[in-house]
Amino acid sequence: MTVRQSLLAILGQGPCYGYQLRAEFDRRTGSTWPLNVGQIYNTLDRLERDGLIAKSETDAQGHVYYEITDAGSLEVAAWLAAPVDRGTAARDELAIKLSVAATLPGVDVAEVIGTQRAVSLAHREALSEAAAAVHVDGPESLARALVVDAMLVHAEAELRWLDRTEDRLRRYPAHAMALELATERPKRGRPAKEVTAVG
């Protein structure tokens, strides 16, 4: 939803053509997540399909402009008014990976954590330097600063969590953590109409 909503919000500022939108998204997010141009046109098609934007005109240079509709403006307003829902959504890839890994027998979770920490540390260092390097002298560098900050605080959080997790698992040895596959309870579920050996 992020790209879609962002492009729509930018179009809320005024008509744009596809290629232009890429540049707009880019500088407004600190050039952090490069967008494949194709995705812009896909997204525009879908936004148009949903009645949130409409083709306006093609200018003297041949640029195909889109403009936001009333429904689109409402959508943007709703987006800005509603907080981002952490909790319901937001699956943490690393948390899932480590908790699944920890419940698997024969997996050296400490090692998994170790390699993860190495790259997470490097990542945090890189972000620290990037944060220090940004000197805010305009909207674009400010946007960059915000985004780098966000990544930095999350990288720090991740490292804290890795430490905490390592601690927890040290106190709770691996062999005691592994989960067996739940034993099947008999006489349940679908009946044995056909007992077939497949494969």
CA distances from 143 to 37, 53, 87, 133 (A): 21, 26, 26, 14
What SS3 class is residue 137?
coil
CA distance linking residue 150 with residue 87, whole number of Å: 18
Q: How far is the CB of 9 from DNA (least distance, A)?
A: 12
CA distances from 52 to 36, 45, 46, 66 (A): 22, 10, 9, 10
Q: How far is the CB of 176 from a copy of itself (least distance, A)?
A: 7
Q: How far is the CB of 151 from DNA (least distance, A)?
A: 15
Q: Which is nearer to a copy of itself, 133 or 150 (CB)?
A: 150
Q: 67: which residues sit within 8 A by CB, 6+ positions away? A: 11, 14, 15, 53, 54, 56
Q: Which is nearer to DNA, 46 or 164 (CB)?
A: 46
Could you tell which of a copy of itself, DNA, none binds residue 39, using a CB distance below 5 to 8 A set by kind?
DNA
CA distance linking residue 170 with residue 191, whole number of Å: 44
Could you tell which of DNA, a copy of itself, none binds residue 26, using a CB distance below 5 to 8 A set by kind?
none
Burial class of residue 96, CB neighbours in 10 A (0-12, 13-18, 19+): exposed
Could you tell which of a copy of itself, DNA, none binds residue 165, using a CB distance below 5 to 8 A set by kind?
a copy of itself
Could you tell which of DNA, a copy of itself, none binds residue 156, using a CB distance below 5 to 8 A set by kind?
a copy of itself
Q: Which is nearer to a copy of itself, 41 or 112 (CB)?
A: 112
Q: How far is the CB of 26 from DNA (least distance, A)?
A: 11
Q: Which residues make up the interface to DNA (CB under 7 A)? A: 1-4, 17-20, 33, 35-39, 41-43, 45-46, 61-64, 89, 91, 184-185, 187-191
